[in-house]
Structure 1
Amino acid sequence: MDQAPGSRQDDAHNGLPVCYRHPDRETGIRCTRCERPICPECMVSASVGFQCPACVRDGSGTGHAPDASQPRTLAGGTIAADPHLVTKILVGLNLALFVVQQAVGDSFTERFELIGRAVMPDLGFGVLQGVAEGQWYRLLTSMFLHLTYIHILFNMLSLWWIGGPLEQALGRARYLALYLVSGLAGSALTYLITEPNAASLGASGAIYGLFGAFVVLVRRQRYDMRPVLALLAINLLFTFRWAGIAWQAHIGGLAAGLVIGAVMIYAPRERRALIQYGTCALVLVAVLVITLLRTAQLT
């Protein structure tokens, strides 16, 4: 239950205040508007300090000037009325394209899946339908295609469970950047390592990127890391033990997600947006370099 503005809850043993919303959690942080103590779960990042959920909801806090700094997410993003909107759109887009795949058939999938260079073994020459021949769009479009009902079911459940909390913590723009750049990193590593004529598709690279960022978020909020690490270990076990899985996309996406997630969540407030989006740009440069090197090998 909320306390009156400015009230204090001091721990009897060491004098540390406890969160006004979670009395079992000690904290040294106070809301910059109402000055009530708040724990990491209740902290909403602002341009200066942190605010509590009550002050974020009413926009002006409790008795403070309405022109105070605009409340921000943990990563500095704008707080949205629907914090899961982008996740819903991504799920809907993946499901819609899967319906198109089922309706149109292989011709649609083969036009947009990831393939380096389709080689005709009997004839010994390449067919102009791969990334190496200039169809770079496949690095992106393959992220939204799926092979089977089980494939899309597991990916969309993972996207919903992990994506929602991440979008709320990062904000829409940062979350979408994380998703797309991680997915492209997974596609680039797949293009680099796999056989040129091996087709690949699926949102797993992007979702593993979200997984990497989610690990960073859990660490930042000081929650128990063991369940998250155990789930990640199980997923990686399936990645390497289950035939037919493009582990390259998983590892590429995970690596990008860890890097981008760490920068998104731990970037200093001074020039925070520049650092965050600059890191995304650097990862995209790495994707570009990998793609150019692999294309040079295949042409």
Structure 2
Amino acid sequence: MFVRRENFSQYIKYYPVVSLLIALNILIHIMSLIPIIGDNVFGLGFGANYLIADGEYWRLVTPIFLHAGLLHLLFNMFSLYLFGPELEKIAGKMRFFTIYFIAGLMGNVLTYLIQPPSYVSVGASGAIFGIFGAFAALVYYTRNTMPQLKQTIMPIIVISLVMTFLQSNINVTAHVAGMVTGFIIGLIDFHPSRILNWRLKEKR
């Protein structure tokens, strides 16, 4: 399920939203490395609670597309590359983007509400944990019909949560809030009655 066998062109064709998000994150990171321009890109985009409190509300969104370094970027984009396609295929393009974006946004909103004014963060982790949360909702609905999904994704979710609390310099609030947000949206989107409606519309 999470083993990618597509070539580059197939991957872009089958999973356009995931591909666009990966490309956008990489492009913004490259821009952030350019002298002068990079300082402005990062300076105007990183999530800083004290600046959000001053009215710079765009910082609730922009940190989703910024990363603290190459390893940070690679780790998040590899997770998106690996786990995003299956959810995009199941949920559809718009629903997948909604899960990703709202989970990332809520991660930053809760970070602003819970963490101190001096707290600063960047990264797509909250959005990616939203993907995990949506998968958890799917597991809830298919626990009796698709046990292999539960066996595959739940250990990944558990390990990711454990690592969240064990590693340093991790925005725990964004991770947990993103996952809970993804789970709630998944419970709504993947409800059996809605899945049935999707299938009926596809047959028309």
Q: Same fold (TM over 0.5)?
A: yes
The CA distance in 1 between the partners of 2:25 and 2:32, in whole Å, is 10
Question: 1:133 offset after TM fit, Å?
Answer: 1.2
Question: 1:233 offset after TM fit, Å?
Answer: 1.5
Deviations 1:182-224 (A, max 9, x none): 1111011111111212210000000000111122334526132
The CA distance in 2 between the partners of 1:86 and 1:199, in whole Å, is 28
Whether the 8 Å CA contact 1:162–1:214 is kept in 2: the answer is: no
Question: 1:107 offset after TM fit, Å?
Answer: 3.7
Give matches, 1:240-279, under 5 Å: 240-266=165-191, 268-269=193-194
- Of 171, 186, 191, the residue aligned with 2:112 is 191
2:42 maps to what in 1? 109
Question: 1:248 offset after TM fit, Å?
Answer: 0.5
The CA distance in 1 between the partners of 2:29 and 2:195, in whole Å, is 42
Q: 1:271 to 1:229 in 2, by over 3 A?
A: closer
How many residues end up aligned between the 2 structures? 182
- TM-score, normalised via structure 2 length: 0.82
Whether the 8 Å CA contact 1:185–1:249 is kept in 2: the answer is: yes
1:93 maps to what in 2? 24
Deviations 1:87-138 (A, max 9, x none): 0000000000000111133442121111111xxxxxxxxxxxx111111111
Q: Aligned residues: percent identity?
A: 34
The CA distance in 2 between the partners of 1:106 and 1:241, in whole Å, is 31
Higher relative helix content: 2
Higher relative contact order (CA 8 A, sep 6+): 2
| Larger CA Rg, structure 1 vs 2 | 1
Give matches, 1:1-299, under 5 Å: 82-103=13-34, 104-117=37-50, 130-219=51-140, 220=142, 222-224=146-148, 225-266=150-191, 268-269=193-194
Question: 1:146 offset after TM fit, Å?
Answer: 0.3
Whether the 8 Å CA contact 1:83–1:167 is kept in 2: the answer is: no
